[in-house]
Amino acid sequence: MKKIKLQAEIEVASDISELNSTDAMLLLRAKEVAKDAYAPYSNFKVGSALLLENDKIVIGNNQENASFSVTICGERNAIFSASAQYPGVAIKTIAITVISSKGNLETPVPPCGSCRQVIYEMETRHKNNIRIILQGDSGDIYLINSIKDILPLLFDSRYL
């Protein structure tokens, strides 16, 4: 039996000052938006800000519900909102950050599986890579060139 190796390479910035001005602005906007998340159950507030090809910025944060399964993640909220407000416009970059319930989380928090699938759908829909910027409350910042880098063996329409 043979093995295949799945691997990815991402950039890591140790401080926001290492980012270009657009990326830094998006990350700061995501941090602002996280403050307004509705997360009374998890106290884990996620903020997201994305930049579209038309240079519009769309924000989103997580919105929880007592019926947990209808909760929506912050990044998915931003993506669906962008798709509704600007249909047909590709996403260039999305920044995702958190205000964690456990204090100062210094590890970037990656999108959940569902959000990765949604980001990939947007990449295929518009035939472009979406850059992803991740940071926890503080600490390292991950810069990812495409969701494909962190979604190996992805599912898409070719299997349908």
Residues lying near Zn ion in the complex (CB under 5 A) are found at 73, 112, 115
Round to whole Å and give the CA distance between 67 and 112.
Answer: 19
Round to whole Å and give the CA distance between 120 and 2.
Answer: 28
* 53 given a catalytic annotation: no
Output 24 or 45, the one with its CB closest to Zn ion. 45
Output 24 or 33, the one with its CB closest to Zn ion. 33
- Position closest to Zn ion via CB: 73
Structure tokens at 31: 């941090």
Q: How far is the CB of 23 from Zn ion (least distance, A)?
A: 21
Q: How far is the CB of 1 from Zn ion (least distance, A)?
A: 34
Q: How far is the CB of 116 from Zn ion (least distance, A)?
A: 8
Q: How far is the CB of 37 from Zn ion (least distance, A)?
A: 13
Output 24 or 118, the one with its CB closest to Zn ion. 118
DSSP string, 69-99: GG-B-HHHHHHHHHHHHSTTPPEEEEEEEEE
- Kindly compute the dihedral angle of the four CA atoms of residues 84, 64, 99, 121, in this order, to the nearest 10 degrees: -40
Output 24 or 96, the one with its CB closest to Zn ion. 96
Q: 60 near 74, Cβ under 8 Å? A: yes
Which of 142, 158, 160 is closest to 150 using CA atoms?
Answer: 142
Q: Which of 75, 106, 121, 123 is catalytic?
A: 75
What is the set of active-site residues? 75
